[in-house]
Amino acid sequence: MTPQVAGPVLRATGIHLSFGGVAALSGVDFFVNSGEILSIIGPNGAGKTSLLNVISGVFRVSHGEISFEGRDLARSPAEDLARMGIARTFQNLALFKGMTVEENVLVGRHALMSSGVLACGAWWGKASGEEATHRARVAEILKFLGLWELRHARADTLAYGLQKRVELGRAMAVEPRLLLLDEPTAGMSHAEKSEFMSYVLDLNRTRRITIILIEHDMGVVMKMSDRIVVLDHGVKIAEGVPDEIVENRDVIHAYLGEQ
Amino acid sequence: MGDLIYAIELLTTGVFTGLMYSMVALGFVLIFKASSVFNYAQGAMTLFAALTVVGLMPHLGLAGSLLATVAVMCVMAVVAERIVFRPLMGASQLTIFMGTVGFASILEGAAQIVWGTKPQGLKLDIPVEPLKFGELLVSRQDLFAAAVAGVFVGALVWFFRNTRTGLALRAIADDPAAAQVVGIKLRRVWAIAWALAGAIAIAAGVLWGNRIGVHFAMSLIALKALPVLIIGGIDSVAGVIVAGMIVGAAEALGEGFIGTYIGGGVQDVMAYIVALLFLMFRPSGLFGQSTILRV
């Protein structure tokens, strides 16, 4: 099940993040191997989303180093993320509500479009070669996700599960080498969940996209993950392959409390 | 028959005047779409632009001074982004709104220091005698103003739909965090939005200046834009155009027909009466996105 591992693409060392006096993350170390699915799990408030936010530049670390493909990530603003080859989705719906499905995905191409003198790169009518490329890629993504028929619908008129899929499409449009998914299936029905995760697996297996996944559903986590990192109260309490994690006493303790 | 011609004349004049309100309102829509902020400074920007055009005209001619003013407004946009938006990034909308109030004061002050406080005339070279369509008289000036407004609207609609920056602007308005993550640079896009709002201010300033002269009351036409924004919806380009025409028509017809009975002055309140009706029955405007807030 584990794809060929070509060493870590992302490495975080001694990550500290505090808000005022409250430590959200203290001394977290972890790495992600190229081509794997790494899940981050932990009870509510364990610091999972905070960890994703420091990786994606939404929060700045208080101390620590994060490198992605050898480049410093801890001090890069969120605006540079896409250009470095990283995309993410958000825990809450973060679609551009006033836009169509197609436009939402097209915005994902922003960093890949050349800015030119006017910073416009207008596309209409008989388009330039560049525009045609972007359009074609967006069409491909929409078809892959089964959203082609809905491309002209306004994003906020879609059902929740479909909106999450549009968000995945927008992240795909970035052409990331690393994809960060923050509880993508929270609030989905069982059927929606397995459908969504089959897309994620496909991206990982056939397109070799490395994935960091935050997920609450343990069934999903155990089935999909190559490795798992467990956080509790901002501290990493375990790390390993799924079989090791289910056996780990600290993890059981964190989830179930004192027996 | 005379009454009908009179009504149609009032209506056309009203609609053309209304389009000029729309021009001013467009500036608000642009900034609102980009940052969900009501830019109080739009009126001051209009005044500032008009004064700059008038001030430079003797030296550079009309075309030259328009070009130079575009450059000035671009600098203004970058300054606005620096002193209003960048320090207030992430602050509440009300805070940023107050920032724009402060920026308006700065602009008005700067305009007075540079160009003085005297009212200025601004005349475009458009013949005064009206065009005749049968019995109908239409002012060339109004027609020209409406055409300019039309061009700007068309260009803006196209810009929002079909350009990378236009799309980025809409993305930022909807969800700044998600927009940043796909690589949209907030500061740059905001500066572009302010520059465009500056360009609209130039057009509105010149058109209004040609009609009423350039003086400090000009920054008050922002108040006329307010009912237009309420009726049209502050996030809708198409909405403010239609709303501008409604307001203009209501003013002209109100003045022409009701004004004669109650002694005039109806024009000044019509816009607000229509806006009030909209607030009661359609608060998000004609085409505005209705947002239902859960409290």
pLDDT in the model for residue B188: 85
Q: Tokens 């809450």 map to which residue?
A: A92
pLDDT in the model for residue B294: 41
Q: Tokens 């909807």 map to which residue?
A: B174
Percentage of residues of chain A with pLDDT beyond 70: 90
> Among residues B157, B127, B158, B121, which one has the least CA distance to residue B143?
B127
Say if CB A86 and CB A56 are below 8 A apart.
yes
* Spatial CB neighbours of A31, under 8 Å, sequence gap ≥ 6: A8, A10, A11, A12
A62 or A6, which is more confident:
A62
Of B162, B167, B186, the CB nearest to A107: B167
**CA atoms lying within 13 Å on the CB side of residue B176:** 14
* Spatial CB neighbours of B98, under 8 Å, sequence gap ≥ 6: none
Q: Say if residue A124's pLDDT is above 60.
A: no
pLDDT in the model for residue B165: 86
Contact call for A96 and B175, based on CB within 8 A: yes
Contact call for A94 and B177, based on CB within 8 A: yes
Q: What distance in Å separates residue A119's CA from the closest CA in chain B? A: 7
* Chain A partners within 8 Å of B158 (Cβ): 124
> Average pLDDT over chain B, rounded to whole?
84
Q: Give SS3 for A40.
A: strand
Contact call for A81 and B163, based on CB within 8 A: no
Contact call for A97 and B174, based on CB within 8 A: yes
Enter the ipTM: 0.83
Say if CB A118 and CB B195 are below 8 A apart.
no
Instruction: Search chain A and give the residue with CA nearest B168.
Output: A107
Contact call for B182 and A123, based on CB within 8 A: no
pLDDT in the model for residue B187: 83
- Tell me, yes or no, if B163 comes closer than 8 A to chain A by beta carbon: yes
State which H helix or E strand residue A87 sits in. Answer: strand A86-88
Structural domains in chain A, CATH included, are 1-85+177-259 (3.40.50.300), 96-175 (no CATH)
* Chain B partners within 8 Å of A55 (Cβ): none
- Tell me, yes or no, if B155 comes closer than 8 A to chain A by beta carbon: no
B9 or A5, which is more confident:
B9
> Average pLDDT over chain A, rounded to whole?
86
Q: What distance in Å separates residue B66's CA from the closest CA in chain A? A: 19
- Tell me, yes or no, if B70 comes closer than 8 A to chain A by beta carbon: no
Question: Could you give the residue ranges of the DSSP H alpha helices within chain B?
Answer: 2-35, 42-80, 86-88, 93-115, 140-162, 164-174, 176-181, 186-212, 221-232, 237-253, 259-262, 266-281
- Tell me, yes or no, if B195 comes closer than 8 A to chain A by beta carbon: no
Q: Give SS3 for B83.
A: helix
A128 CB neighbour count, 10 Å cutoff: 12
Say if CB B15 and CB B202 are below 8 A apart.
no
Q: What pTM does this model have?
A: 0.81
**Which of B181, B185, B186, B287 to mutate: most A Cβ within 10 Å?**
B181
* Spatial CB neighbours of B273, under 8 Å, sequence gap ≥ 6: B250
- Tell me, yes or no, if B196 comes closer than 8 A to chain A by beta carbon: no
Q: Tokens 């050898």 map to which residue?
A: A70
Radius of gyration of chain A (CA): 19
Q: Give SS3 for A30.
A: strand
* Chain A partners within 8 Å of B182 (Cβ): 82, 87, 107-108, 110-111, 170, 173-174
Q: Say if residue B88's pLDDT is above 90.
A: no
Cα–Cα–Cα angle for A226, A198, A92, rounded to 5 degrees: 90
Task: State mean pLDDT over B163-180.
Answer: 87
The H helix count followed by the E strand count for chain A is 9, 10
Q: What distance in Å separates residue B189's CA from the closest CA in chain A? A: 9
pLDDT per position as a tens digit, A52-100: 999 988 888 888 999 999 889 888 888 898 999 999 999 888 899 889 9
Q: What distance in Å separates residue A56's CA from the closest CA in chain B? A: 8
pLDDT per position as a tens digit, A159-198: 988 999 999 999 999 999 999 999 998 888 888 999 999 9
Contact call for B174 and A96, based on CB within 8 A: yes
pLDDT in the model for residue B1: 57
Q: How buried is residue A34: exposed, middle or buried, by Cβ count under 10 Å (0-12/13-18/19+)? A: middle
Task: State mean pLDDT over B25-36.
Answer: 84
Distances in Å between the alpha carbon of A87 and those of A80, A90, A144, B141? 10, 10, 18, 53
* Chain A partners within 8 Å of B184 (Cβ): 79, 107, 110
Given pLDDT bands bounded at 50, 70 and 90, which one contains residue A138? very high
Dmax (CA) of chain B: 63
Contact call for B181 and A82, based on CB within 8 A: yes
- Tell me, yes or no, if B186 comes closer than 8 A to chain A by beta carbon: yes
Q: What distance in Å separates residue A228's CA from the closest CA in chain B? A: 25
Instruction: Search chain A and give the residue with CA nearest B236.
Output: A98
**Cα–Cα distance between A246 and A39 in angstroms, integer?**
13
* Spatial CB neighbours of A58, under 8 Å, sequence gap ≥ 6: A78, B177, B181
**Cα–Cα distance between B42 and B205 in angstroms, integer?**
11
* Chain A partners within 8 Å of B196 (Cβ): none
* Chain B partners within 8 Å of A88 (Cβ): 181
* Chain A partners within 8 Å of B186 (Cβ): 79
Residues of A with a Cβ under 8 Å from any B Cβ are: 56, 58, 77-83, 87-88, 90, 94-99, 103, 106-108, 110-111, 113, 115, 119-124, 170, 173-174
Say if CB B67 and CB B188 are below 8 A apart.
no
DSSP states along B28-45: HHHHHHHHS---TTHHHH
Contact call for B181 and A88, based on CB within 8 A: yes
Q: Give SS3 for A32.
A: strand
Contact call for B162 and A122, based on CB within 8 A: yes
* Chain A partners within 8 Å of B235 (Cβ): 98
pLDDT in the model for residue A115: 54
* Chain A partners within 8 Å of B163 (Cβ): 120-123
Given pLDDT bands bounded at 50, 70 and 90, which one contains residue B68? very high
* Chain A partners within 8 Å of B171 (Cβ): 96, 99, 107, 110
